[in-house]
Amino acid sequence: MSRSVTSEISQLRIRNRLFSRHPQQFPASVHWQGQKFVNLDSGERRLKSVVRWLQTRRPSPWPVWEENAVFSAPEPVYSPQLQDWNVCFINHASVLWQLGPYNLLTDPVYAERVSPFRWAGPRRVRAPGVALAQLPTIHVILLSHNHYDHMDLATLGYLSQRDHPLIITGLGNAHYMRPHGIHNIVELDWWQVHHWNTLKVHFVPSQHFSGRGVADRDQALWGGFVVDSPGGTGYFAGDTGWGRHFQEIAERWSAFRLGLLPIGAYEPRWFMRLAHINPEEAVRAHQLLKIQHSVAIHHHTFQLTDEPMQQPAEDLAVALMQHQVPAAQFWVLKEGESRRVP
């Protein structure tokens, strides 16, 4: 095949990804309104706001590359007891959560860039803390939504072929995975639950949006997860701005043993507040949900917004002091670092 034909095929595939609408409709969901899903709270980022941010943004300098500290690879099986929990921060929103003998993985992203293009878009500044081949057998993947920094089809395809995990996600997201040979998928609406062995996995609301191109905005559902187990309850927020979903989750569950809460990608605030909480809001969520121990996620890997790379951790430390929350309750783990959950 000639180079020109290969280039034309590549350009056609990119156009199809960027300009294809989602083929499904979801009228059975109360969160589906006409042609898209909507948040519990009103307010969304308009195209005018996006253009304004792109024209006025002042991104802080980030390093081109940083080396990670070295940690031991996670154990294939953490414990035969469901009460024994371990958490390992891999990078961004990717966390290995070991509940006794079960290995859960959140939003696994090993791509060099989080973008529809291989040559452009946010590029990682550090390697994942656990190499893909060093991950233990993954039983369940919690996939919060379809943005490129959360749904990495190459990583999902590799894990699907190697381990055949169950992928639990929101309505409409299987559409993006099935053409890549990924089929063991359960789609849920907000507040629906899926039973897997002794775990109950609930898909819960978040304040965000979805889309992998310019024509499929909000046509697949985004959200977070609550996992009930005999050893306690954990919460993975996914991507989220502040909203009443936090209060609704707090009303349904009295307390959490573990929380995975985003702290990065929040500046400028006038633009990012509808999609991403900042560190102070993450601390408020930690308190409202009565989380015993939280892990900071969604920072330190890709420069998505304007704040410096270290600013989320620094702002989190300030917020913890302001809200009188002990730093020992809200962990900022290094990539590849594991910690036993008390």
Residue 53 lies in a domain: no
Element (H, E) at 338: strand 338-341
- In sequence order, the β-bridge partners of residue 330 are 294
Please say whether the beta carbons of 167 and 157 come within 8 A. no
The contacts of residue 122 (CB under 8 Å, 6+ apart) are 113, 114, 115, 149, 302, 303, 304
For the chain, 342 residues long, give each residue's pLDDT as a single digit of tens: 445 434 443 444 555 667 789 999 999 999 999 899 999 998 777 778 888 988 999 999 999 999 999 999 999 999 999 999 999 999 999 999 999 999 999 999 999 999 999 899 999 999 999 999 999 999 999 999 999 999 999 999 999 999 999 999 999 999 999 999 999 999 999 999 999 999 999 999 999 999 999 899 999 999 999 999 999 999 999 999 999 999 999 999 999 999 999 999 999 999 999 999 999 999 999 999 999 999 999 999 999 999 999 999 999 999 999 999 999 999 999 999 999 999
What pLDDT does residue 3 have? 52
Structurally, the chain folds into a number of domains equal to 1
What pLDDT does residue 54 have? 86
Residue 314 lies in a domain: yes
Residue 1 lies in a domain: no
Nearest by Cα to 226 from 272, 179, 289: 289
Q: Reduce the DSSP state of residue 177 to 3 states and report it.
A: helix
Residue 50 lies in a domain: no
What pLDDT does residue 214 have? 86
User: Which structural domain range is residue 301 located in?
Assistant: 76-341
Residue 29 lies in a domain: no
Residue 27 lies in a domain: no
Q: Reduce the DSSP state of residue 27 to 3 states and report it.
A: coil
What pLDDT does residue 8 have? 41
Residue 326 lies in a domain: yes
Residue 116 lies in a domain: yes
